[in-house]
Chain A
Amino acid sequence: MKLKDQIRFVRQNMKKNKTRLFMTVLATAMGCSFLIVLASVGFGLQKSIVDKIVGDRLVTAIDIYGIEAHDSIERQLGLSQIEYLRSVDHVKAVTYRNQVRQQLSPSLDGSAVNSQGAVNVDFAAETKAGFALSAGTLPKADDEVVIGYHIRIPPGTKPNEEPPAADEWLGKTINLEVSQTQTDGSERKTTIPVKIVGVAEKPSREWRIDTNIYIGNGLIAKIEDFTQTQWGEQRIVPDKKNPEGYEPPGLQDPRFYNGVQVIADGANRVKGIGEVIRKQGYFIHSIADELEQVNLVFLIMKIGLVFVGTIAVLIASIGIYNTMTMAVTERAQDIGIMKAIGAHPSAIRRIFLLESAMIGILGALIGTVVAYVVSFAVNAGLPLVVQGFMNEKVPEGFRFSWIPAYLAALAALISLAVALLSGSRPARRATRVDVLRALRRDL
């Protein structure tokens, strides 16, 4: 028997008692949407809380603080360590953030720029790591830079105020002033003009202010070439107040890197990479470590919610069982005639299983749509309620309820399975209809 004909039979049967069918589908839809909405709270809270923990950090990033060693200098990360980290499997990029060790007094069109300083980054690595820009591009030439999102805020502005659009500065030139005190106490100065080609993304945490100027390896080399010290650090010549003075590390001295991050090529690789480099003595921390605990708690919570929600679907299944049992009883005569002329019992069973499956699918479909509507309403309405009654503001972007596609799919699967389960007994009963009693109309 063809599936198409089985479906035709089922549809014919369903038309016979539309009210009963409607009520059964309604009950299934209610169970299914209850399941989805309930579980969606687990998903929504997890997403909101995890997003809050992660902030603007990458889940694929591992912070490297240092390496096990006896003294504090050896604990720092040198070029050979950076190279090792780059060579580890599944490492996409290794980035660093080295503060330039002098003011640079950046100015644009003659007025000072509100900058907390310049930071040297490896733009080649940042490209791979996915340095997020709100405008423009990453530098290609040595004298091109990226500026922080808040750099155009004039000093003294209130923290909540939206900065003037930084991208209006794209293409403009900032003058960096590099100076170095010579060993004889005299001061040498030079001005390096750089072009703004990109604006960094707004930090996702509201209180964070980014007024850095991000400069590449070519530009830092230029600065160091002038100062003859690492990261452009300024020399302090011994005098009466400071008889020892300070001679910063020179260009030939071993160089150490700050703010080193290893970027994995996938969130699921972070743990593995972490284990490998931890064994090599690196001190590391990744947001993934932190999230693992949080996600575990939420996983347990979500399983619990799905379980409770499934009970609602199971209650709806009583309706399906009832409907199918009545359908079999009502149609016993037809079943008997079909068996008498040669219908295979399994074909009859399939027709009734198909009917309960269709009730399950229909219920799941309607239930899913309703669940999305309810979820939307909760997300829109609950912040207003919280604000109204508790006078507390719900953080921006906080979601109470979130329905990922796979939750909807899972609920549909559960509804279908439960519908098939509750239809299986009536379907088996249908196959056992006695032909002779049916032909005698004695059922």
Chain B
Amino acid sequence: MMIELIQVNHQFAIGKKGKERVVPVLHHIDLHVKKGEIVAIVGRSGSGKSTLLNLISGYIRPTSGTIRVAEQDVTGLSEGDWANFRLAHLGFIFQSFQLIPSMTAFENAELPLVLKGIALSERKKRVMELLEQMGVAEYAGHYPGELSGGQQQRVSIARSLMLNPPIVLADEPTGSLDTDNERQLLALIRELNRDLGITFVLITHDDQVAATAHRTVTLKDGYLLNAYGKGAEYSYEA
């Protein structure tokens, strides 16, 4: 099992200290994602999709329950351990790309390698290889402000794949792209899944994206409806 959520609850506390109000967002979530699966999470706005993905990313901690990622219990990890875990196991694709504006495409893409402490000579090869694969090698010296949305998303995907993560998490990855770019991105996701066996968890509003997935799960008001819904019988054989 690549990702396992067992009886996960999450609630936010809002308001001033002492006068907090508790907002429950996720209830009794049980989710299992197998190695090599593409899982799409769908649901209405405010249903808790992003919150769920943020729990798997370690950006927030569950109020209760257990989360296991890549066979490791990550529920109680410290912030520093989470950072190391993310760097080693998770790739991220964001709706708004999240490139650092003062760094070139090359510098943005190499960031995971820099954080890992890999030498520049080695980095160069790997970064150019991936930028090439994403079709943006010629823009290596450009700043994000000098790139189109599609190009920025390719740079950010290059960054997410830099350290060969077994899992890629994506919160509305096509949300800022036109249909052409969206189609290419979905093809790329399928290709990466097929060729490298990367496990994907995607959040989407888009039927196209959902159709790409092996399986779709729906969140409604913080409850996971069809955890074993469409494609529940699917199993990845490899």
Contacts and interface: CB of A to CB of B under 8 A. Distances in A.
Interface of A: 1-2, 4-5, 12, 16, 333-334, 337-347, 435-436, 439, 441
30 contacts: A1-B114, A1-B115, A1-B117, A2-B117, A5-B117, A16-B102, A333-B100, A334-B100, A334-B101, A334-B102, A338-B111, A339-B83, A340-B57, A340-B86, A340-B92, A340-B98, A341-B92, A341-B111, A341-B160, A342-B83, A342-B85, A342-B90, A342-B112, A344-B80, A344-B83, A346-B80, A436-B54, A439-B94, A439-B96, A441-B96
Contact of A439 (B98, B112, B116): B98
Contacts of B85: 342
Nearest to B88: A342
Interface in B103-122: 103, 111-112, 114-117, 119-120
Contacts of B49: none
Contact of B119 (A2, A341, A345, A435): A2
Nearest to B95: A439
Contacts of B103: 12
B188 interface: no
Contacts of B114: 1-2, 5
B79 interface: yes
B107 to A, nearest CB: 9
B234 interface: no
Given A1-B114, A1-B115, A5-B114, A342 B102 contact: no
B92 A338 contact: no
Nearest to B54: A436
B60 interface: yes
Contact of B87 (A12, A16, A341, A441): A341
Interface string B111-136: 11011110110000000000000000
A8 to B, nearest CB: 9
Contact of B115 (A333, A341, A436): A341
B59 interface: yes
Nearest to B51: A436
A340 B93 CA distance: 11
Contacts of A342: 83-88, 90, 112, 115
B159 interface: yes
A334 B90 CA distance: 19
Contacts, number: 66
Nearest to A3: B117
Smallest CB-CB A-B distances: 7 pairs: A342-B87, A342-B86, A344-B83, A334-B100, A435-B59, A5-B114, A337-B98
Contacts of B116: 1
Given A345-B80, A347-B115, 15 more contacts: A1-B114, A2-B117, A12-B103, A337-B98, A337-B99, A338-B100, A339-B83, A340-B59, A340-B86, A340-B98, A342-B86, A342-B87, A344-B80, A346-B80, A439-B94
Best-surrounded residue of B60, B100, B159, B160 (most CB of chain A within 10 A)? B100
Nearest to B160: A341
A1 B54 CA distance: 25
Nearest to A8: B114
Nearest to B98: A337
Contact of B86 (A1, A4, A341): A341
Count chain B CB atoms within 10 A of each CB in A337, A342, A343 and give the residue with the most. Answer: A342
B154 to A, nearest CB: 16
B88 to A, nearest CB: 8
Given A2-B117, A436-B59, A337 B87 contact: no
Nearest to A5: B114
A399 to B, nearest CB: 50
Given A1-B117, A2-B117, A439-B94, A341 B79 contact: no
A441 to B, nearest CB: 8
A341 B102 contact: no
A24 B236 CA distance: 59
A339 B100 CA distance: 12
A311 to B, nearest CB: 37
Contacts of B119: 2
A341 B117 contact: no
A334 B87 CA distance: 16
A58 B87 CA distance: 67
A135 B183 CA distance: 95
A346 B78 CA distance: 12
Contact of A341 (B60, B112, B120): B112
Given A1-B115, A338-B111, A340-B59, A345 B83 contact: yes
B70 to A, nearest CB: 14
Nearest to A2: B117
B84 A341 contact: no
A146 B120 CA distance: 69
A346 B54 CA distance: 22
A2 B84 CA distance: 15
Contacts of A339: 83
B77 to A, nearest CB: 12
A340 B112 CA distance: 11
Contacts of A1: 114-117
